[in-house]
Amino acid sequence: MDNDFPTIKTDRLLLREITDVDLENIFNGLSNPNVVQYYGISFSSLDATKEQMIWFADEKQMWWAICSLDNQTFYGAGGLNSISHKERKAEIGLWLLPKFWGKGIMKEVLPLISDYGFDQLKLNRIEGFVDTENVNCKNAMSKLDFQHEKTMKDCEIKNGKPISVDVYAKTI
Ligand SMILES: CC(C)(COP(=O)(O)OP(=O)(O)OC[C@H]1O[C@@H](n2cnc3c(N)ncnc32)[C@H](O)[C@@H]1OP(=O)(O)O)[C@@H](O)C(=O)NCCC(=O)NCCS
């Protein structure tokens, strides 16, 4: 637990530090086929998910648990990773449990995360790498002022098949 980890609140949401008590929450998300469909990682056991908790704790990442304002309900997680203070850039990511999709949570949270990156971490550039098939995410990125920069065709292998990735970025 890092007492200095920033907490962000809106009228309905609480963005708080991810701690060890979230192991099951993270497993529920990153073992759900609908959540990880376009995602680069997935976990099949609570034990395997501990690797992700170590990743969250690394200083190159700044990820929040996205919860109801009263912290009673866990909706998902979002944040900045591969933070480079030298290059003043980071990658942004977000996932929600399916029952909380379509409620405008991404639209509300992504600007909070990118604003934190620009204002507090003094970044110049925040980028998002989105599987070309992930239409929901691409629609959302465009609506949130992330510029589509390019499509990297067949740039990764996922489940034995090549996938293409769209690069979105926001700069100040
Ligand atoms: C991608 C994801 C985060 C969207 O979150 P969300 O809170 O449901 O998105 P929002 O409700 O804020 O919707 C934002 C925009 O996304 C698009 N969108 C979201 N759900 C959609 C749906 N079911 N059908 C079509 N477009 C959709 C729309 O453009 C929407 O804007 P609008 O409401 O003005 O039409 C969610 O589907 C998810 O967790 N997916 C699995 C993880 C993942 O793929 N993450 C990649 C990072 S984006």
Dist. CA 2 → ligand 1 center (Å): 30
Q: What residue owns the CA closest to ligand 1's atom 31? A: 140
Q: What residue owns the CA closest to ligand 1's atom 13? A: 104
The mean pLDDT of the chain is: 96
Average pLDDT over residues 18-38: 97
Q: What residue owns the CA closest to ligand 1's atom 42? A: 95
- Enter the DSSP assignment of 146: P
Average pLDDT over residues 32-54: 95
**Positive or negative, the Cα torsion across 118, 120, 123, 129?**
negative
* 63 found inside a domain: yes
* 130 found inside a domain: no
Dist. CA 62 → ligand 1 center (Å): 21
CA 160 to each of CA 34, 98, 163: distance values in angstroms, whole numbers, following the listed order: 19, 25, 9
pLDDT interval class at 3 (50, 70, 90): confident
pLDDT at 113 over 80: yes
* 94 found inside a domain: yes
- Say if ligand 1 is within 6 A of residue 139 CB: yes
* 129 found inside a domain: no
Q: What does the pLDDT read at residue 1?
A: 62
Number of domains in the chain: 1
* 100 found inside a domain: yes
pLDDT interval class at 40 (50, 70, 90): confident
Ligand 1 atom, smallest distance to 94 CA: 47
**Positive or negative, the Cα torsion across 101, 43, 109, 157?**
negative
Ligand 1 atom, smallest distance to 95 CA: 39
Q: Are 80 and 92 spatial neighbours (Cβ–Cβ below 8 Å)?
A: yes
CATH of the domain at 118: 3.40.630.30
Q: What does the pLDDT read at residue 90?
A: 98
Q: Can you tell me the distance from the alpha carbon of 71 to that of 80, in angstroms, rounded to the nearest whole number?
A: 21
Percent of the chain with pLDDT over 70: 99
Domain span at 80: 8-123
- From 136, 166, 167, the mutation candidate for ligand 1 (largest count of ligand atoms within 8 A of CB) is 136
What would you report as the CA-atom Rg of the chain, rounded to the nearest whole angstrom?
A: 15
pLDDT tens profile 72-100? 999 999 999 999 999 999 999 999 999 99
pLDDT interval class at 111 (50, 70, 90): very high
pLDDT at 159 over 90: no
Ligand 1 atom, smallest distance to 139 CA: 29
Q: What does the pLDDT read at residue 136?
A: 87
- Say if ligand 1 is within 6 A of residue 109 CB: no
